[in-house]
Amino acid sequence: MENYRPITKATADRFLQLLKTKGPQSAAMLAAALQITGEGARLQLLKLAEEGLVMSATTTKGVGRPVQIWNLTPQGHAHFPDTHGEFTLQLIETIRKELGDAALEKVVAARERLQQEKYTLALQGITDLAEKLEQFAAIRTSEGYLAEWHAEDEGFIFVENHCPICNAASKCANICKSELNTFASILGDEVEVIRTNHIIAGDRRCVYKIALIKSVPAYLP
């Protein structure tokens, strides 16, 4: 039996590199590529999962036992160098300097329209608010927001534990305003969306309170 050694940064990097370059893999596939035992690979993957870098899903192909497939989480993808944040900041400053604040506002408004169209299409046909929030959270998580939600007495709470556009939003306040507008637009006129916690303001996460708007009975003389 293989003597299990605690995972090191070099070992973790090898696993993450394979998942990044080869896509979702089983423990057996990773073990073969890294020339270690399957048990050793599984132990390393469980450790990476505890750190939030990988996640697993069970799949079945034809006849046989289900196979556990491993993939990177958004946090795992963020492990690799990424200069898009710096590029975005440079782009914002360039637009502001060369074209002015009005042009930057138009760009943000155009992004808002595109986001609303994208989410509206993805949520098309879903009328139940809880089901809509479930799907919306999945979409936002896939975009790096690590979103979750839960019901409360008078509505729902929607949480985003990470903001992948935080640097850009810190340089352009209209981006956060645009995000709030998008939430209100796709969730409909039956609810009021209020941001109660804000990463840009120093909070650990962004929290949105989604309150059901109580209908007012028509006045009958």
Taking only the tens place, the pLDDT of each residue in 170-216 is 888 889 999 999 999 999 888 999 999 998 888 888 999 999 886 54
> Do 112 and 206 reside in the same domain of the chain?
yes
> Do 72 and 114 reside in the same domain of the chain?
no
What domain count does the chain have?
2
For every residue of 123-173, DSSP letters joined together read: TTT---HHHHHHHHHHHHHHTT--EEEEEETTEEEEEES--TTHHHHHH-H
Range of the domain at 67: 9-77
> What is residue 7's predicted lDDT score, i.e. its pLDDT?
52
Most confidently modeled range among 72-81, 87-96, 118-127, 153-162: 118-127
> Do 172 and 111 reside in the same domain of the chain?
yes
**Above 90 in pLDDT, residue 169?**
no
Identify the residue whose tokens are 């959270």. 137
> Do 129 and 178 reside in the same domain of the chain?
yes
> Do 101 and 172 reside in the same domain of the chain?
yes
> Do 45 and 121 reside in the same domain of the chain?
no
Tell which of 32, 48, 77 closes a domain.
Answer: 77
- Does the residue 64 lie in any domain? yes
Identify the weakest region by mean pLDDT among 24-33, 43-52, 81-90, 185-194.
81-90
* CATH number of residue 155's parent domain: 3.30.1380
Report pLDDT digits (tens) over 106-150: 999 999 999 999 999 999 999 999 999 999 999 998 888 889 999
pLDDT band at 4 (very low <50, low <70, confident <90, very high): very low
Task: Kindly state the average pLDDT of the residues 8-33.
Answer: 86
> What is residue 122's predicted lDDT score, i.e. its pLDDT?
95
Please report the sign of the dihedral spanned by the C-alpha atoms of residue 92, residue 98, residue 102, residue 103.
Answer: negative
> What is residue 67's predicted lDDT score, i.e. its pLDDT?
86
> Do 102 and 45 reside in the same domain of the chain?
no
**Above 60 in pLDDT, residue 2?**
no
Tell which of 24, 46, 77 closes a domain.
Answer: 77
Tell which of 44, 77, 110 closes a domain.
Answer: 77
> Do 64 and 140 reside in the same domain of the chain?
no
**Above 70 in pLDDT, residue 84?**
no
- Candidates 155, 82, 16; CA nearest to 8 is 16
